[in-house]
Structure 1
Amino acid sequence: MNRRFALAVALVALLAAGAGCLGYATGGGEVTNETLDAEPPREYDFDADRDAVFELSTDARYTVVYDLSGRDELRLYRQTPYAGDQPLEFEAFRYRYPDGEVVTGSEFRARGGEVDRTPDETWIRLADDMEGGKVAFSGAGSPRRFTSLAYVEGSYAVTLPPGFSTDFPLVGHVSPRSYEVETVGDRDRIVWEEVTGSIVVQAYRETDLTVFGGILAVAVLVAVVGTLRFKRQLEELRERRREMGVGVYDDEDDDGFL
């Protein structure tokens, strides 16, 4: 039995090692031009004056624009509790030159830029003549709880979908705490002047507060009814013990009995 168990463990280890080596040998999976050239869910805000600009939507797709001034590459990854760093997946890649020209992912590659994926991260590398531009792409992310690492240091902005807010502390949360909220049309925009670690935005639809208030009211009502019912049952029990003469005194505390 011990020999069979040892052989099984060795086989699993061999398969895992083989899978890991294969992953590194193949570069963790190619990011295809079709993925990069996909149509964005909405227009990218290349004109924003922040280092990173996110726009969230109710279709669970976010868009982001990163200013790469002073940088020639960008490492994108997500942290997982058990599998370590994993490459960030995205689509609808666009690059805008400082003069305003916007190119797709395949054009970006044709002009010397690189978008490569390894088992641990996705790399965006600029060609020599691309200094000072901006990159944009789209990915999966819910406005109810959106998180992102700060892949570039500097100022950040996150625009919520119409009708969403973070004001109510029980259901809304923003980190880092040094932020301000601007109103842009019918939308809230959360802005930070400096971010170095990560951002977390937990938002709610303002109409959800009515539902939340109703649930809270029902919970309070259930608690009150339960308390009154317990007191009534306790009083009935005390009355029966008094009738039986089993150690119940008139001056004992109302909340206990002997």
Structure 2
Amino acid sequence: MNRRLLLGTVVVGLLAVTAGCSFGPFADDITDEELNESAEYDWETNATATITIEGAEYQAVYDVSNQSELTVYQQGFAGNEPVNVRAVQFRDANGTFVNGSALDVEKQGSETVIDLPSENGTVAYTADTRPKQFGSPVLVEGSHEVVLPPNHQTGNFLFSHVSPGNPEKEVVDNRVHLRWDDPEGNVFVRYYLDRDIYIFGGIVAVLGVVLVAGLIYYLRQIRELERRREEMGLDVDTEDDEFDDGPPPGMG
């Protein structure tokens, strides 16, 4: 009976966790409606891979050469996971576009595979990311550029992290551009708003005031207790007696 109850609890928990998931190993298949979503991409970027972040989603634009497909995946708790891409578009080297469900896009195990109509061209898609951070394995060789949302920054070690370290950094139209010539492994960026620092500083200041006020109150309570003991004649110094090494009473 206990085993059945435990199994039932696990099953219910898994259903609760995976219900409505749009990412990870339990994500649903990509629908034609998602593939056919509209999006405007920067096709004139001069990087091999360009990631433009907008809130909790990003637009990825990849130049591909001599390859028939692009495999898209992300790192999860249990290993690689497919990415739930949408608004997928492909521009051939001659300028011809193939959009949405006209492309063959499907999840295969731990990857999302986009079959390319031509071995040379540019493929773009939109996907979700966590607020104020982006991470992805390097999917193509060549230069990579990550464009942060407006008014967001990197540089404060408490609020940001960039990997690989020391990318080229440029601010264009109030947006930070991070660029790597040929990164390997993974690209990861955690960023922040300027106001986040002020909010954090305000919280620390308030906690500091509360701590100091509590300490003052505690010291005042101790002094008040000592004063009352003195008034009641209970302020007897027993320290010497407690540590007196002399013989017991009646033995001296």
Give the distance between the partners of 2:116 and 2:223, measured in 1 at CA: 79
- 1:160-188 CA-to-partner distances (Å, cap 9, x unmatched) read 11111112221122122131221111111
Give the distance between the partners of 2:74 and 2:169, measured in 1 at CA: 26
**TM-score normalized with structure 2 length:** 0.74
Q: Which position in structure 1 is the counterpart of 2:63?
A: 67
Aligned-partner SS, 1:122: strand
Q: Which position in structure 1 is the counterpart of 2:95?
A: 100
**Where does the alignment leave 5 or more consecutive residues of structure 2 unmatched?**
12-26, 241-252
Q: How many residues get paired? A: 217
Alignment of structure 1 residues 83-232 onto 2, 5 Å: 84-107=79-102, 109=103, 114-127=104-117, 130-232=118-220
Give the distance between the partners of 2:36 and 2:105, measured in 1 at CA: 12
- Tell me the CA shift for residue 151 of structure 1: 1.7
- Against the structure 1 CA distance between its residues 235 and 200, is the aligned structure 2 distance closer, same or farther, given a 3 Å change threshold? farther
- Tell me the CA shift for residue 50 of structure 1: 1.2
Alignment of structure 1 residues 29-40 onto 2, 5 Å: 30-40=29-39
Kept in 1: contact 2:90–2:122 (CA 8 A): yes
Give the distance between the partners of 2:28 and 2:128, measured in 1 at CA: 19
**Where does the alignment leave 5 or more consecutive residues of structure 1 unmatched?**
13-27, 249-258
- Tell me the CA shift for residue 125 of structure 1: 2.2
Give the distance between the partners of 2:160 and 2:31, measured in 1 at CA: 37
Equivalent residue for 1:50, pick from 22, 47, 51: 47
Q: Which runs of 4+ in 1 moved over 6 A?
A: none
- 1:124-180 CA-to-partner distances (Å, cap 9, x unmatched) read 1224xx122110011112441222222223321111111111122211221221312
Calculate percent identity across the aligned residue pairs. Answer: 36
Kept in 2: contact 1:29–1:118 (CA 8 A): no
CA RMSD of aligned residues (A): 2.9
